[in-house]
Amino acid sequence: WRSAQGCQRAIRYVIAGMLDGEAAARAEGRDVRGLLFLGLYKDQPAEELQTIVNAVLRLRQRWLDERRPEVTRLAGLDSLGEEGTFDPRSQLAIFQQAHAAGLPVVFHLGERWAPGKLLEKLQDMDALVDAGLLMTLTSPLALLVDAGTLRADLYPDDAKERIATSTVFAPWLKQL
Protein backbone atom coordinates (compact mmCIF):
# COMPACT_ATOMS: atom_id res chain seq x y z
CA TRP A 1 0.00 0.00 0.00
CA ARG A 2 1.16 3.44 -0.75
CA SER A 3 -1.03 5.11 1.88
CA ALA A 4 -2.93 4.49 5.08
CA GLN A 5 -6.16 4.97 3.13
CA GLY A 6 -5.10 2.30 0.62
CA CYS A 7 -4.42 -0.09 3.48
CA GLN A 8 -7.81 0.55 5.04
CA ARG A 9 -9.55 0.21 1.67
CA ALA A 10 -7.88 -3.15 1.01
CA ILE A 11 -8.91 -4.45 4.43
CA ARG A 12 -12.51 -3.32 3.88
CA TYR A 13 -12.62 -5.07 0.48
CA VAL A 14 -11.19 -8.32 1.85
CA ILE A 15 -13.61 -8.41 4.77
CA ALA A 16 -16.56 -7.48 2.53
CA GLY A 17 -15.59 -10.40 0.30
CA MET A 18 -15.45 -12.71 3.31
CA LEU A 19 -18.91 -11.60 4.43
CA ASP A 20 -20.30 -12.14 0.91
CA GLY A 21 -18.74 -15.61 0.85
CA GLU A 22 -20.23 -16.45 4.23
CA ALA A 23 -23.69 -15.37 3.04
CA ALA A 24 -23.37 -17.56 -0.06
CA ALA A 25 -22.25 -20.50 2.08
CA ARG A 26 -25.19 -20.02 4.47
CA ALA A 27 -27.54 -20.03 1.47
CA GLU A 28 -26.12 -23.48 0.67
CA GLY A 29 -26.55 -24.65 4.26
CA ARG A 30 -22.87 -24.44 5.18
CA ASP A 31 -21.47 -22.69 8.22
CA VAL A 32 -18.35 -20.74 7.23
CA ARG A 33 -16.68 -17.86 9.06
CA GLY A 34 -13.73 -15.88 7.75
CA LEU A 35 -11.07 -14.10 9.77
CA LEU A 36 -8.34 -11.79 8.52
CA PHE A 37 -4.83 -11.86 9.89
CA LEU A 38 -2.90 -9.08 8.23
CA GLY A 39 0.59 -10.29 7.36
CA LEU A 40 3.44 -7.85 7.86
CA TYR A 41 6.74 -8.80 6.29
CA LYS A 42 9.83 -9.08 8.44
CA ASP A 43 11.91 -7.24 5.84
CA GLN A 44 9.61 -4.22 5.56
CA PRO A 45 11.13 -0.99 6.84
CA ALA A 46 9.87 -0.05 10.29
CA GLU A 47 8.35 3.24 9.07
CA GLU A 48 6.21 1.35 6.52
CA LEU A 49 5.09 -1.13 9.15
CA GLN A 50 4.24 1.72 11.52
CA THR A 51 2.09 3.39 8.83
CA ILE A 52 0.22 0.13 8.19
CA VAL A 53 -0.32 -0.65 11.87
CA ASN A 54 -1.53 2.91 12.57
CA ALA A 55 -4.01 2.61 9.68
CA VAL A 56 -5.25 -0.78 10.88
CA LEU A 57 -5.69 0.47 14.44
CA ARG A 58 -7.59 3.57 13.28
CA LEU A 59 -9.92 1.47 11.12
CA ARG A 60 -10.44 -1.03 13.93
CA GLN A 61 -11.23 1.75 16.41
CA ARG A 62 -13.71 3.34 14.00
CA TRP A 63 -15.45 -0.02 13.57
CA LEU A 64 -15.51 -0.51 17.35
CA ASP A 65 -16.97 2.98 17.88
CA GLU A 66 -19.63 2.32 15.22
CA ARG A 67 -20.29 -1.20 16.56
CA ARG A 68 -19.74 -2.62 13.09
CA PRO A 69 -19.67 -6.41 12.76
CA GLU A 70 -16.59 -6.23 10.52
CA VAL A 71 -14.44 -5.55 13.57
CA THR A 72 -14.81 -9.18 14.68
CA ARG A 73 -13.27 -10.32 11.38
CA LEU A 74 -10.08 -8.32 11.76
CA ALA A 75 -8.41 -11.03 13.80
CA GLY A 76 -4.88 -9.73 14.19
CA LEU A 77 -1.40 -9.19 12.79
CA ASP A 78 1.10 -11.80 11.71
CA SER A 79 4.83 -11.43 11.19
CA LEU A 80 5.67 -13.20 7.92
CA GLY A 81 8.64 -13.77 5.70
CA GLU A 82 12.15 -15.08 5.70
CA GLU A 83 13.60 -15.43 9.17
CA GLY A 84 17.25 -15.45 8.04
CA THR A 85 18.87 -12.65 10.00
CA PHE A 86 15.57 -11.22 11.26
CA ASP A 87 15.67 -10.04 14.86
CA PRO A 88 12.11 -9.79 16.22
CA ARG A 89 13.23 -7.06 18.60
CA SER A 90 13.63 -4.75 15.57
CA GLN A 91 9.83 -4.56 15.14
CA LEU A 92 8.85 -5.17 18.72
CA ALA A 93 7.55 -1.66 19.50
CA ILE A 94 5.20 -1.76 16.51
CA PHE A 95 3.72 -5.12 17.49
CA GLN A 96 3.52 -4.05 21.15
CA GLN A 97 1.46 -1.04 20.06
CA ALA A 98 -0.99 -3.30 18.21
CA HIS A 99 -1.14 -5.76 21.10
CA ALA A 100 -1.74 -2.96 23.62
CA ALA A 101 -4.62 -1.73 21.43
CA GLY A 102 -6.24 -5.16 21.68
CA LEU A 103 -5.21 -6.59 18.33
CA PRO A 104 -3.83 -10.14 18.60
CA VAL A 105 -0.32 -10.69 17.27
CA VAL A 106 1.04 -13.97 15.93
CA PHE A 107 4.57 -14.69 14.74
CA HIS A 108 5.97 -17.09 12.19
CA LEU A 109 9.20 -17.73 14.06
CA GLY A 110 11.28 -20.78 14.77
CA GLU A 111 10.80 -22.43 11.38
CA ARG A 112 14.37 -22.03 10.15
CA TRP A 113 17.78 -21.26 11.54
CA ALA A 114 21.33 -21.39 10.28
CA PRO A 115 23.47 -24.43 11.15
CA GLY A 116 24.67 -24.07 14.72
CA LYS A 117 22.24 -21.20 15.47
CA LEU A 118 19.35 -22.98 17.20
CA LEU A 119 20.09 -21.38 20.57
CA GLU A 120 20.01 -17.91 19.00
CA LYS A 121 16.62 -18.72 17.42
CA LEU A 122 15.29 -19.80 20.80
CA GLN A 123 16.60 -16.57 22.31
CA ASP A 124 14.70 -14.60 19.64
CA MET A 125 11.56 -16.49 20.65
CA ASP A 126 12.35 -15.81 24.30
CA ALA A 127 12.51 -12.06 23.57
CA LEU A 128 8.90 -12.22 22.37
CA VAL A 129 7.85 -14.08 25.52
CA ASP A 130 9.61 -11.50 27.69
CA ALA A 131 7.86 -8.69 25.82
CA GLY A 132 4.48 -10.28 26.53
CA LEU A 133 3.81 -10.61 22.80
CA LEU A 134 3.98 -14.33 22.24
CA MET A 135 0.29 -15.17 22.24
CA THR A 136 0.51 -17.44 19.21
CA LEU A 137 3.64 -18.78 17.61
CA THR A 138 3.13 -20.41 14.23
CA SER A 139 5.42 -23.16 12.93
CA PRO A 140 7.67 -23.21 16.00
CA LEU A 141 9.82 -26.13 14.84
CA ALA A 142 12.72 -24.89 17.00
CA LEU A 143 10.70 -25.83 20.09
CA LEU A 144 10.41 -29.43 18.99
CA VAL A 145 14.08 -30.23 18.47
CA ASP A 146 15.47 -32.95 20.72
CA ALA A 147 18.75 -31.34 21.80
CA GLY A 148 20.30 -34.78 22.27
CA THR A 149 20.06 -35.42 18.53
CA LEU A 150 21.99 -32.31 17.46
CA ARG A 151 25.30 -32.74 15.64
CA ALA A 152 28.28 -32.58 18.01
CA ASP A 153 30.39 -30.61 15.52
CA LEU A 154 27.80 -27.80 15.55
CA TYR A 155 26.50 -28.14 19.11
CA PRO A 156 28.92 -29.07 21.89
CA ASP A 157 27.44 -30.63 25.02
CA ASP A 158 27.19 -27.30 26.86
CA ALA A 159 25.23 -25.78 23.94
CA LYS A 160 22.89 -28.80 23.86
CA GLU A 161 22.28 -28.37 27.59
CA ARG A 162 21.48 -24.65 27.17
CA ILE A 163 19.12 -25.45 24.31
CA ALA A 164 17.35 -28.18 26.29
CA THR A 165 16.85 -25.87 29.27
CA SER A 166 16.16 -22.56 27.52
CA THR A 167 13.23 -20.70 29.04
CA VAL A 168 11.10 -21.08 25.92
CA PHE A 169 12.01 -24.63 24.99
CA ALA A 170 11.79 -26.51 28.29
CA PRO A 171 8.22 -25.64 29.42
CA TRP A 172 6.72 -26.29 25.98
CA LEU A 173 8.48 -29.63 25.62
CA LYS A 174 7.17 -30.80 28.98
CA GLN A 175 3.59 -30.18 27.75
CA LEU A 176 3.99 -32.53 24.76
Q: What is the mean pLDDT of residues 103-108?
A: 84
Task: Inform me whether the pLDDT recorded for 27 exceeds 90.
Answer: yes
Computed over every residue of the chain, the mean pLDDT equals 84
Q: What is the pLDDT of residues 117-169, one digit of tens each?
A: 888 888 877 777 777 766 677 777 887 788 889 999 999 999 898 888 775 54
Report which residue type is found at 62: R
Question: Which element (helix H / strand E) includes 137?
Answer: strand 136-138
Contact predicate 37/76, CB 8 Å = yes
**∠ CA 31-62-138 to the nearest 5 degrees?**
55
Question: What pLDDT does residue 66 have?
Answer: 94
Residue % of the chain over a pLDDT of 90: 31
Q: What is the mean pLDDT of residues 107-123?
A: 84
Provide the 10 A C-beta neighbour count for residue 32. 12
- Find out whether 88 and 49 touch, Cβ atoms under 8 Å: no
| Residue of 55, 27, 25 lying closest to 40 (CA atoms) | 55
Indicate the pLDDT class of residue 174, thresholds 50, 70 and 90: very low
